[in-house]
Amino acid sequence: MTNQVQNIENDSHWTDPLGRLVPVNLIKPVDRERDALVRGIVEQAKTMSTQLGQFKAGVFADVGAFVELSAEQYDVKLGGIKGNVTLTSFDGRYKVIRQMQDTITFDERLQAAKQLIDECISEWAEGSSDNIKALIHDAFQVSKEGKISTGRVLGLRRMNITDEKWQRAMQAIGDSVQVSGSKPYIRVYERVEGSDRYEPISLDVAGV
């Protein structure tokens, strides 16, 4: 992979970030070396990304086929990916987990819940804990991407508050939950020798 060379009046040119054509003989050697290094790494990364994609697709297919085969012992047809599955080697050293992770969002009823919670805080006034106020405030903070943390909002439902209005707010939160999608993951683990603890076999460049 090299910079797209264009020949103009028999002179080779490279394109710079602004789309301008720069004669190669005016480009410093270190800049040409940097370009070659970056493009070489990118080419390898693209190859590895393709291989990982093929590996992932193959593992999903193999695990799915095995699950179907296992279910056939009981005359059951599963028909597609359903639920989480853990497969363990005979000696227990390795395990493969197929995990389905739902994407949770909230509909407009979350606004009703927020209004009820605000009213609760106002009515409790000095009688409410600063820690509780902080938790509620953090739960409804919007991230840079404009999203509310589903974990923090749902965590409010675990708070032991018997106030009738609070309970209605928690009901509104529960009713507002929507599953907008589900994404399957494959995770591979190896047991740490001499223990019951498993360590993941990293398939992530940052984790290697």
What is the per-residue pLDDT across 41-89, written as a single tens digit (0 to 9) for each?
999 999 999 999 999 999 999 998 899 888 888 887 776 666 789 999 9
Amino acid identity at 2: T
With a cut of 80, say whether residue 6 has pLDDT above it: no
C-alpha count within 13 angstroms, C-beta hemisphere, residue 112: 16
pLDDT attached to residue 81: 64
Q: Kindly indicate the confidence band of residue 191, based on its pLDDT and cuts at 50, 70 and 90.
A: very high
Convert the pLDDT of each residue in 12-37 to its tens digit.
899 999 999 999 999 999 999 999 99
pLDDT attached to residue 127: 60
Of 109-113, 159-163, 199-203, minimum mean pLDDT range? 159-163
pLDDT attached to residue 29: 94
Torsion of CA 51, 57, 59, 65, to 10 degrees: -150
- CA-based nearest residue to 198, from 188, 186, 208: 188
pLDDT attached to residue 122: 81
Tokens 């019951």: give the residue: 196
pLDDT attached to residue 161: 86
pLDDT attached to residue 208: 62
Q: Which H or E run includes 22?
A: strand 21-23
Helices (DSSP H) in 26-182: which residue ranges? Answer: 29-71, 109-124, 130-139, 150-155, 164-176
pLDDT attached to residue 126: 63
Q: In what order do the strands lie in the sheet with 11-15?
A: 6-8, 11-15, 21-23
Read off the tokens for 107: 């509909």
